[in-house]
Structure 1
């Protein structure tokens, strides 16, 4: 038996030998020159008038302008140039320039001649370039010039979306040299070979290899195509062989179907067993190996049903995971492969088994990781929010669908192809007009064409169209009837309604469409990791409300059999340049931050989904906290602390004191923890297995109810006006307390009311506008208007006082966020206010208002020093002259 294995391994290695000789793939990512802006041919060579920047690929020119204080980001031309030195021996080979992705239109020039162009920013493409290369003078090299343009184009999807359309060559770029006889390199950026598993059961499985072989030589050829299947130990399982006659300068199709492989190892998220198929082309006469193709093979079968959900390999399986956008803090979408792979690992480590690659095809490393570690995937093309009713838009959409399917075909992790996300969210024309009705018909017509193309390209997988929660609209237009699965992006309890609306919606789908399987393709709530509340409210952007949201949705998904699964919106926070919110330009619904730090919701999903024991202390990244005691005699501040675990019972220790044990329920338990002034060490562990544990170090600042307390001497305090949340600055980790009314001996405001944003009843605090000139927008997004005074009854000494202001009203039309169905665009009033500010009776700010420092939507802070004596404390008075007085935040620091 040992000798047989050695012989088989030898066969494998002999079969694979010479791989580097038949096809050479060479990255050319390094040392490019880049120019942002329009250029003509003369500018390309004039280094005096055109200043080029040195860059490496992957590269995007929108790394930073998407996060500045100005609305909009650069959408236009970007130029790249580089001299490439090509091996002279490649003259007799077929050479291609291969892009993994560039957004969104690309034109390529080599040695001054146009090679070709590509439309679409999220799929791969290649160009044959032999005729443009010079091989005679290797030292001279070949100049490649590439123009990429991410300008808005009404004929290219996506037209509009809740994510940023970064520009650049943001994925890898390669030169590929192959023999003149090779697998088809011009098949829409694909491998040109497609592997399927047409017949799979627990006892046997077949695989099929289909593709085209291209003969670029001037003579006909006779070849042998051999395909071998190897298990993960590189032992040969099956062999297929075909003889072909290739005409010169032509493509020839081949098709190979195996006999049944007995007792196959099945692929699943729990055991992602991968075989591999290796296909080679041999010259029939010389037996020279001309080309080689390889792909993973996962034997599995699956089905979606309308009443019992999803089945994999004959067993029910609830699909639970997350959506994934491809950007990263300070990198835009130009990520190294390892970061894309790590995102998939984050889903796996969460306990997830499913990813929605949204809203566009992503780097090849994403699906490669899914195959390898066991994550089922749906992939979609970027028709988002609306379409353009032109033939060109239709052709581009269909072409993107074909490119996506062919490029991602050979991944056993993929089970669904999707298209048209929320396509009726921003329809054209006036409501109820004839044009609007015709528009809806045109959307449905395009949807049916995309459906037909998808089933034609790949009848082995399911199709899906993800809709926003307007059930009656999508059903009346017919979009619920076209795909095999309907996806619903649902936000009950966030953008609309309350949590209970979720179950009502799902029940309605099941009643009206009893034969249509469904997936909840999006659900999520903004969770600004800097914001917390003891009394969370819808749309307050706190971590605490998001936890309530995720608990409700996961229960619904798990408890309703007819819901095949759900994908969280989103795995990570992502850039959406047009958003304001508490963190401008960001969609904060990710359960992991933009720089990949898990939030509480991530630990919650681990506790609910993972099979291995886990204990995680919630909000452990909230390391600097504060609280106001109710009595001078207290020595600790009690605050709830949630511990996430799949263990039955958790024991908690704080500062060495055992606080006892509590049973977990649905993945967590909440302890009421006594925090002392200063540093606190928290330890949580499984009562039955103390090795399963977690630690947190939390610094707590206690404020006595009397600021003159000697037990807790006053040092500094920060208060957010018009707010009932706590906010922690990202950079300094300084904590801001919510406002309170003044009581003698303490601190607080006198008079006024918390500002309430008109036209958006959902926002419980302040405004969601972008406030320029600050990284701490939440401090400036709430305010108390009509305030009369703010008092601090501090002991004598020297203090530094800072007042924070922002004028919300600009007189401009405020556009509603398209995704918030409750918000309406409206023309707002223009404020005109003038008031004085006095500190302990002395004039500090005179005629302060819109004529001077108080510019609309800009952060203003004013600092002064005060010497307090005779036990009088600090009183800040606001004297109205015109309009209402305002104050957004206040900070007081003791100097001595």
Structure 2
């Protein structure tokens, strides 16, 4: 049976095609120079001899000290912005004369202006959007040097509610093509009919043909499966227009298609070659996926005809101690950690993401809500995007859609997050007109569903969405999630939770009794009352922001309502900035299921117990308390009927989940020794877990996540640092200062420990452990060889690990 497929697409424009070796786009990240401060540096004659040499991507703010007087505020991470300049000198071989030369920036934060040989190419205020400039008219060829200069102005603060980073923090690419070429983001693939026997693949191609072009031109497209086998091919004539982009439509059929899903993210490649007089003049590869999906008002979300509950997370774009400088391996690690707990969705909060994130989501199987704006015309911060919205929203949204619409991972376009226009203040109804126009822009370019992630389902907000977007989505308000409540307010439209939870947790900290709830603060604009003096939040399910709830409270509501298509949890990882509920010296968030260093909090295992089928058992907290203290022991588990708890061999009883329970608990008296939990199903032991009382810190243990990395100057190994006692048990309150030393073909790219109030530098060679753990990130240099990382601490036995760069 044939089915209608909302566009199931992927786009990847950094192209090296295996079939012919044709290269059109290449990295342009090496050999830049950087200066923090303003300078008259646009002209080629400017002397930049003293400037710092570096490789992009680069975030200068992450290198600065945390500062309580920073105009970014703690919301922006208490790290300063400023003005920075980047310059690069390069040559173009004389053999390239007569071809088209272009530069593509994946993202520059923010207010960038770019010059080539002293000629201004343009300005772009949006710090998250990708943009291309044509250099052809201004470049010099042969041995004559060219100079690219980029001024980045992130000085007007505050302009973000979270840590934004500063600089050319995403990749840069140089594209060299014939003057007849496929335009930037110039392919668009849809699969309008899909069955088990065949899939129709429609390709829309945009070709730039110069006015002087006289020869016949053809576009030949071949689809390959992921083994390189040819699946379909077509050749179409391209009409010659007067230096105007030409649209070419092609249709191919793939027999017996493998469908893209979260469990089997299968990708095809469409390779399009422009052929003139028998010669290939351009080649463009578009990976894509074949799948179909639907949203139902009563039964939720269906992918390829099967029900799937979207359980996603919201993430900001920083990578912890690496800042916002994008790194593919760091993104991949985050997604691997999230997959491990059963997550299948990502919301790009609250901006267009790095292209590498979407490519990884395509390959790994995530359902992405691709978000455009955090505000429209009404401000959230004095200097934020509201100042640029009128002049730039059409261009920015259009470029995002062009860039991202081929990704099969992208299922939903979000055109706003908690925008201020959701309230009809002073009878201002401009929000409805803005939303309708944004909807029209999206629908003119793609047919995937739209949503806006507002946080107040008031009557005017209902009017906003009910008359515009394809999905009803709002943040929080979990008392209004039932089908009856949704349909009473919004009518019969599919419903998705665009943001939920906002639990607050510090890894390894526990406030007892565990069933005493903390809503911190009482209201978003009030200080916290009865706060913890050390600015921690409990990692039991008993601390949340007042607008949200705990993970457990939300999961129970989520699981019992079939009408909910999915939800995106705030947040997957802690991030720099927005240190709710605390003021300075807190400088990063408490919302994450995983801390800033990538170490899971206990909530990670709650989701794992609900969302995954592989047997698991998690027992917490640690077992170092005061003698005689009352301690609440919790267990998350699946694939079992019951759990029995033992303390030093003595049974504390058997517990079973009943009703909508998601955990079991024992309230016991602490005595040093060993706590053991045993899960059973039908009387058979499924799993056993132990926690032991730790002694004094004795030694360091280093564990790399990968012992072999690429010697490309970009690849990373994340090394977990544990402070353990003489028997190898992690000391749960260890805070020893660890010093790192590295030798060989690598550098320390960053250090972290996940503590939201640690004000020491991410770029130092020292870091205090927090609750027994720390992290060192090792980055390869551009040469093969062994990298030796050593860690020492006063009074402890040190450790060394070897990482091989190949």
TM-score, normalised on structure 2?
Answer: 0.74
Report whether the alignment pairs 1:131 with 2:113.
Answer: no
CA distance in 2, matches of 1:426, 1:455: 21
The answer as to whether partners of 2:618 and 2:637 remain within 8 angstroms in 1 is: yes
Q: In structure 2, the residue corresponding to 1:627 is in which secondary structure?
A: coil
Residue from 179, 189, 193 that aligns with 1:195: 189
Q: In structure 1, the residue corresponding to 2:168 is in which secondary structure?
A: coil
Residue from 430, 433, 443 that aligns with 1:442: 430
Residue from 628, 635, 638 that aligns with 1:645: 638
Number of aligned residue pairs: give it: 654
Gaps of 5+ in 1: 1-14, 154-158, 493-500, 631-636, 702-726, 734-769, 776-896
Q: Residue 234 of structure 2 corresponds to which residue in structure 1?
A: 240
Q: Residue 296 of structure 2 corresponds to which residue in structure 1?
A: 305
CA distance in 2, matches of 1:86, 1:655: 73
Q: Residue 154 of structure 2 corresponds to which residue in structure 1?
A: 150
The answer as to whether partners of 2:422 and 2:461 remain within 8 angstroms in 1 is: no
The answer as to whether partners of 1:220 and 1:247 remain within 8 angstroms in 2 is: no
Residue from 401, 405, 411 that aligns with 2:401: 405
Residue from 462, 472, 479 that aligns with 1:475: 462
Q: Residue 585 of structure 1 corresponds to which residue in structure 2?
A: 587
Cα 1:382/1:646, change in 2 over 3 Å = farther
> Per-residue displacement from partner, 1:641-689 (whole Å, max 9, x unpaired)?
3243343334555556666654355543334566533x64756555677
Q: Residue 785 of structure 1 corresponds to which residue in structure 2?
A: none
Residue from 481, 490, 493 that aligns with 1:516: 493
- What is the RMSD computed on CA atoms of the aligned residues? 3.4
1:34-183 correspondence runs (5 A)? 34-41=34-41, 52-65=51-64, 67-73=66-72, 74-137=80-143, 140-152=144-156, 162-183=161-182
Q: Residue 418 of structure 1 corresponds to which residue in structure 2?
A: 414
Q: Residue 452 of structure 1 corresponds to which residue in structure 2?
A: 440
Shift of 1:595: 1.2
The answer as to whether partners of 2:640 and 2:679 remain within 8 angstroms in 1 is: no
Shift of 1:774: 10
CA distance in 2, matches of 1:694, 1:238: 53
Shift of 1:231: 2.4
Shift of 1:514: 2.4
The answer as to whether partners of 1:161 and 1:385 remain within 8 angstroms in 2 is: no
Q: In structure 1, the residue corresponding to 2:412 is in which secondary structure?
A: strand
Q: Residue 245 of structure 2 corresponds to which residue in structure 1?
A: 251
CA distance in 2, matches of 1:689, 1:348: 28
CA distance in 2, matches of 1:317, 1:47: 59
Shift of 1:609: 0.5
Residue from 372, 379, 382 that aligns with 2:373: 382
Q: Residue 269 of structure 2 corresponds to which residue in structure 1?
A: 276
CA distance in 2, matches of 1:689, 1:169: 57
CA distance in 1, matches of 2:645, 2:211: 74
Q: Residue 221 of structure 1 corresponds to which residue in structure 2?
A: 215
1:486-505 correspondence runs (5 A)? 486-490=472-476, 501=479, 503=481
Shift of 1:216: 4.2
Cα 1:643/1:390, change in 2 over 3 Å = closer
1:776-787 correspondence runs (5 A)? none
CA distance in 1, matches of 2:386, 2:341: 43
Q: In structure 1, the residue corresponding to 2:444 is in which secondary structure?
A: helix
CA distance in 2, matches of 1:123, 1:149: 15
The answer as to whether partners of 2:452 and 2:465 remain within 8 angstroms in 1 is: yes
Q: Residue 361 of structure 1 corresponds to which residue in structure 2?
A: 352
Question: Structure 1 residues 115-124 or 657-666, which shifts more?
Answer: 657-666
Report whether the alignment pairs 1:539 with 2:534.
Answer: no
Shift of 1:146: 0.7
Shift of 1:610: 0.7
The answer as to whether partners of 2:640 and 2:686 remain within 8 angstroms in 1 is: no
Report whether the alignment pairs 1:184 with 2:180.
Answer: no
> Per-residue displacement from partner, 1:210-243 (whole Å, max 9, x unpaired)?
0111234843232221222222332222222212
The answer as to whether partners of 2:466 and 2:491 remain within 8 angstroms in 1 is: no
Q: Residue 25 of structure 1 corresponds to which residue in structure 2?
A: 25
Residue from 452, 458, 464 that aligns with 1:465: 452
Shift of 1:337: 1.1
CA distance in 1, matches of 2:239, 2:631: 81
CA distance in 1, matches of 2:46, 2:135: 26
CA distance in 1, matches of 2:260, 2:209: 36
The answer as to whether partners of 2:588 and 2:757 remain within 8 angstroms in 1 is: no
Report whether the alignment pairs 1:393 with 2:395.
Answer: no
Shift of 1:489: 0.9
The answer as to whether partners of 1:181 and 1:217 remain within 8 angstroms in 2 is: no
The answer as to whether partners of 2:112 and 2:150 remain within 8 angstroms in 1 is: yes
Q: Residue 856 of structure 1 corresponds to which residue in structure 2?
A: none
Cα 1:502/1:599, change in 2 over 3 Å = farther
Cα 1:426/1:385, change in 2 over 3 Å = farther
CA distance in 1, matches of 2:212, 2:685: 73
Cα 1:51/1:681, change in 2 over 3 Å = farther
Cα 1:308/1:773, change in 2 over 3 Å = closer
The answer as to whether partners of 1:618 and 1:644 remain within 8 angstroms in 2 is: no
Shift of 1:206: 0.6
Cα 1:543/1:349, change in 2 over 3 Å = same
Q: In structure 2, the residue corresponding to 1:575 is in which secondary structure?
A: coil
CA distance in 2, matches of 1:531, 1:698: 16
Shift of 1:341: 2.1
The answer as to whether partners of 1:275 and 1:296 remain within 8 angstroms in 2 is: yes
1:287-306 correspondence runs (5 A)? 287-306=278-297
Q: In structure 2, the residue corresponding to 1:224 is in which secondary structure?
A: strand
CA distance in 2, matches of 1:344, 1:247: 45
Question: Structure 1 residues 394-403 or 660-669, which shifts more?
Answer: 660-669
TM-score, normalised on structure 1?
Answer: 0.67
Q: Residue 801 of structure 2 corresponds to which residue in structure 1?
A: none
Q: In structure 2, the residue corresponding to 1:351 is in which secondary structure?
A: coil
> Per-residue displacement from partner, 1:298-329 (whole Å, max 9, x unpaired)?
22211112222212222322211111211122
The answer as to whether partners of 2:615 and 2:686 remain within 8 angstroms in 1 is: no
The answer as to whether partners of 1:394 and 1:446 remain within 8 angstroms in 2 is: no
Cα 1:472/1:67, change in 2 over 3 Å = farther
Q: In structure 2, the residue corresponding to 1:420 is in which secondary structure?
A: strand
Cα 1:330/1:385, change in 2 over 3 Å = farther
CA distance in 2, matches of 1:682, 1:70: 49
By relative contact order (CA 8 Å, sep 6+), the higher-ranking structure is: 2
> Per-residue displacement from partner, 1:114-160 (whole Å, max 9, x unpaired)?
233323111211111122221132xx53222111122449xxxxx96
Cα 1:201/1:509, change in 2 over 3 Å = same
Shift of 1:166: 2.0
Shift of 1:474: 1.4
For the pair shown, the structure with the greater C-alpha radius of gyration is 1
CA distance in 1, matches of 2:54, 2:639: 47
Gaps of 5+ in 2: 1-15, 73-79, 380-384, 521-536, 697-730, 738-755, 762-806
CA distance in 1, matches of 2:264, 2:18: 30
Report whether the alignment pairs 1:526 with 2:514.
Answer: no
CA distance in 2, matches of 1:275, 1:43: 45
Report whether the alignment pairs 1:554 with 2:555.
Answer: yes
CA distance in 2, matches of 1:558, 1:290: 54
The answer as to whether partners of 1:307 and 1:561 remain within 8 angstroms in 2 is: yes
Residue from 607, 610, 617 that aligns with 2:619: 617
1:599-618 correspondence runs (5 A)? 599-618=601-620
